[in-house]
Structures are given as C-alpha cells and as structure tokens.
Structure 1
Amino acid sequence: MSQGIEGKVVLITGGSTGLGAETARVLAARGAKVAIAARRKQKLDDVVAAIEAKGGSARAYAMDVTDKHQVEAVAAAVVADFGRIDVLINNAGLMPIRPMAEVNTDEWDAMIDVNLKGTLYGIAAVLPRFIAQDSGHIINLSSVAGIKVFAPGGTVYSGTKFAVSAITEGLRQEVGEKIRVTAIEPGAVDSDLKLGTSGTAAETVLGFYKDAIPADSVARAIAFAIEQPADVDINAIVLRPTRQVF
C-alpha cells in the first residue's frame, strides 16, 4: 500500500470500464476507498465485486455526467457513505472521430456534454467541499489530443480536450495551496474509447490503436500523482506508447 493513497476516498467518473475501472482496481489495491460512478450500474457492480473479492473497499453509483444534478447527488452520497471525498478523477469521455465535413452535430454535442460539461460538473460538485475541508485533489483526463490537434477527424475531440487542459491549468491557479490539480494526457491506451467511432473513420482509429498501451499504465500515472506529499502538485502527465509519434 502507498502511504499517500491509503485511506483516501476517491470518486471516479466513467468507472464502469476501461481506464476508470482499472484505476479503481489499482487505487483500491493501494488502500484507497473507491467510489465509481457511471451510467451502467451492472458493470459498476461487477467492478466493485472484483475489488471487494481482493479485500478492497468500493461502492457503485449510477450517474450520468451530463446531468449536473445527478453529479451533485452522487458527490453528496459519497460523502454520506464515506464521510468525505479526497480525490475526484474526471474520467468519463467520448471520442467519435469523424471529418468535420460530415457535420455530425449530434456527436459534437455529445463530446461537449460529456468531455467538457461533464468535467465541469464534476469540479462543481467537489470544489466547494474541498475548499471547506481545506484539502482535495482534482484529476482531469485530457489527452495528447489536448496538447496537439488530432486532425483530420479528431478536430472537435481535440477542441474538448484542449478545453479540459486549459480548465485544469486555470483551476490550478485559482484554488490556492491546499488543493491539488492534475491533467492526465494519454496517447493510445487500450480502452473502450476507441470503439466510439462509427462510419468512415472507424478503421483508421482502430489502426491508430494497434500499439496501444494497457489501461493500467494510466492508472499508475494517476496513482503517482495522488501518492505525492501534500505540498507536491503534479500538474500534468503526458504518456504515450513508445511507438506513437503523434
């Protein structure tokens, strides 16, 4: 167990599969009390059962990150169940890749609602609590596409992730010395994210992910940020497969 992680209450959005589920497993194994939230309750329950079978502490909460009232309600429920929240991991995300000329505004709306508004709603739910308790850690999942535009096809996705990275940095400057803020900016990682593309770009996306690194690579990066002493703020971690050029 890691001294900087053990006993901390960690709320993870998008916790039913992929990066969120793997991060829950890694942090629980290091002694965190993990609250996982997503729309698919059965998948959340499966993750909780696997964590508890190994002696970890976890609870599942059904939640849609695009509904700010649900996000606030889950934050309140986690505090009621565990007594506090120490870390929020804003992990829920969508990545439908498509040339802008196809003008799929439904996909644009969905990425803005989940990737951007969902992140903001998570921050809104925990920040007043962190300010009141004079401590806390907000970890936002951005992307290498949030530091370099992924085009053609990923232009709107990059737009949402650039926004997440900018909000993360601005938040860091605003919150003062007691609250930590981290952006995690992965490249190709094996998760459900690559399955969000349909139509013309699907084959290209799957090809891009052929050298993807496993989800626990990101989970370990997140653990590294959390386990630092309280006066050390890891502001950004960029990680890619060694073969990835973009």
Structure 2
Amino acid sequence: MSDWNEKVEEKVVVVTGASSGIGEAVARTLAKEGARVVLAARRVDRLEKIVAEIREAGGQALAHAVDVTKPEDFQALVDATVAHFGGVDVLVNNAGVMPLSPLAAGKVDEWRQMVSVNVMGVLHGISAVYPRFREQGRGHLVNVSSVAGHVVFPGATVYCATKFAVRAISEGFRQESGPNIRSTIICPGAVESELASHITDAGLRETIRSFESIAIPAESIAQAVLYAIRQPATVDVNEIIVRPTAQTL
C-alpha cells in the first residue's frame, strides 16, 4: 500500500485564516511535522512574522495575502503555491468570522459578511483547488466548521447557518470527489481565538467571552487536523468534534 497519506513530511498544505488562532496553530504544527505550509490571510505583516519564525525553526513556509471572499484571490493563492512548492496536497479552509447578533437587531451587513467569508470563502477554496486535486488524482480538503454547525444558539442563528452549510458542502464534496480525494470537517467548541472581537452586540460579546475560562488552546484543533491528514490513503476521517471537557453544548 502506498504511504503517501501516512506521512506529513513534504506535503504541501495551504491554510487560510493563518494569521492567528486555529489557522496559525495548524500552520505551525504541520510545519513542525515537516509539511511545507502556505499561510494565507489578509494581515500580511502578521503572516510574514509567523513564516519567519517557522523558517528559523527549520520549517518551510510561505506567506500569501488572500481575501477569501474574492475567487480571484483564492486562485492566485493556489497558483502561487504550485509555483513555489510544485503542487498542493491539502487545503485547510479555516478563515471565518463570528459577528453574532439577534435576528431582531437586523444587522444585515454582518449577516452578509458571515455568508461571504464562512460559506463563499469555502466554496472559492474548493473552486480553486479541486481541479488540481483531480489532475493529481489525490488531495485532501479540510473545512473548519464548529459545534455551531450541530446546534443552534440564540443570537447565533446566521453564524450557525453558515457552519451547518460548511458541513453540508463538505459532505457533498466527499460524495462527489471520488475515492482518492478526502474530505474532513473539523468542528471546534470553545477555543482561544480572536472571534469574540468580531461581535458588535455588547451582550453577546460578554456571553461569548464568558467561555474564555474553559476555552482550549488552538493547538488542540491543530492536533485534530494533523490526525486526519496523517491517516493511510484508504482512510478518510470525515468529521471530528473537539470541545473542552467543561463545555456542555
């Protein structure tokens, strides 16, 4: 049996939302395991700092600016990855925003932002990388959803809808992509991140920040991604939910 999927070393992994939180942790963890990582986000200064630190530690990394709401940005990201590293083996669609608010608040612009980033961003990634996967005859799509893709919370209706959508898209991709292209959904619970800073509703911002006392490190999610990626070629880990032990929902 080929061990292509059993080794992380030398795999080329693109990670969006890599300037902080889960994305940063995934990039650092995979680089430490020997993967060649491409860190993508809008904050290029932050990306370049992380890339410099990865390289100083002996890893291989590249920074690339991307706005996942723009399909041309995502295509340029994949093209730059192929030009620099010769291919792309794994895409970790991690970029996301969480400006929670009650529906009655009518924050249409924030709803549109969540759909654009959390849903269309994932689809733009698939559109850019899927032809490459088909040409190679292999590849791995890792989409970061949330426990909010399983349970709806008051004040989080639109956010939950976007994360349910990510799970639906991931499952559809799995069914359509054939036997040699893998699809994994990662569903984090309360994790240390900057997501609460996106919330403009004061009450919900404080509610979410109350979870900080039980939040687990982003490294915990990175380990789940690593687990899925390093499985043998015949194994497709379709979904992983990772919560703090103290989280009930």
Q: Which residue does 2:179 correspond to in 1?
A: 177
Q: Distance in 2 between matches of 1:60 and 1:230?
A: 28
- Which residue of the partner structure matches residue 48 of structure 2? 45
Q: Deviations over 1:116-159 (max 9, x none)?
A: 00000001100010001000000000000001112x11110000
List gaps (5 residues or longer) in structure 2: none
Structure 1 counterpart SS, 2:112: helix
User: Distance between the aligned counterparts of 2:245 and 2:239, measured in 1?
Assistant: 18
Alignment of 1:49-198 (within 5 A): 49-150=52-153, 152-198=154-200
Structure 1 residue 199 displacement after superposition: 2.5
Matched residue SS, 2:95? coil
- 2:10–2:35 CA contact under 8 A, matched in 1: yes
Superposed CA offset, 1:2-60 (max 9, x none): 95211100000111111101110000000000001111100000110110111000000
For the residues of structure 1 that align with 2:201 and 2:110, how far apart are their CA atoms?
12
d(CA) in 2 for partners of 1:203, 1:16: 24
Match of 1:199 in 2: 201
Instruction: Please provide the CA RMSD for this pair.
Output: 1.0
Q: Which amino acid aligns with 1:74?
A: L
Give % identity: 52
Q: Is the 8 A contact 1:194 1:209 kept in 2?
A: no
> What is the match of residue 222 of structure 1?
225
Paired residue secondary structure (1:6): coil
In 1, the alpha carbon distance for the partners of 2:222 and 2:112 equals 28
Q: Deviations over 1:138-186 (max 9, x none)?
A: 0000000001112x11110000000000110111011010100000001
Q: Contact between 2:6 and 2:233, CA under 8 Å: does it hold in 1?
A: no
Residues in 1 aligned to 2:148 and 2:211: alpha-carbon distance in whole angstroms: 13
TM-score (ref. length: structure 1): 0.97
SS of the residue aligned with 2:91?
A: strand
Counterpart secondary structure, 1:228 = coil
Letter in structure 2 aligned against 1:189: V
Q: Is the 8 A contact 1:19 1:216 kept in 2?
A: yes
Could you tell me how far 1:194 is from its partner in structure 2?
2.2
Return the offset for 1:193.
1.4
How far apart in 1 are the matches of 2:188 and 2:241? 6
CA distance in structure 1 between the partners assigned to 2:130 and 2:213 by the alignment: 38
Task: Determine helix, strand or coil for the equivalent of 2:55.
Answer: helix
In the aligned structure 2, how far is the partner of 1:125 from the partner of 1:141?
Answer: 17
What letter is aligned with 2:125?
G
Which amino acid is the alignment partner of residue 201 of structure 2? G
The alpha-carbon deviation at position 61 of structure 1 amounts to: 0.2
How many residues align? The count is 244
Q: Which amino acid aligns with 1:100?
A: L
Alpha-carbon shift at residue 237 of structure 1 (Å) = 0.2
Letter in 2 for 1:175: S
Deviation of the 1:198 alpha carbon: 1.8
Q: Provide the rounded CA distance (Å) in 1 between the counterparts of 2:82 and 2:205.
A: 41
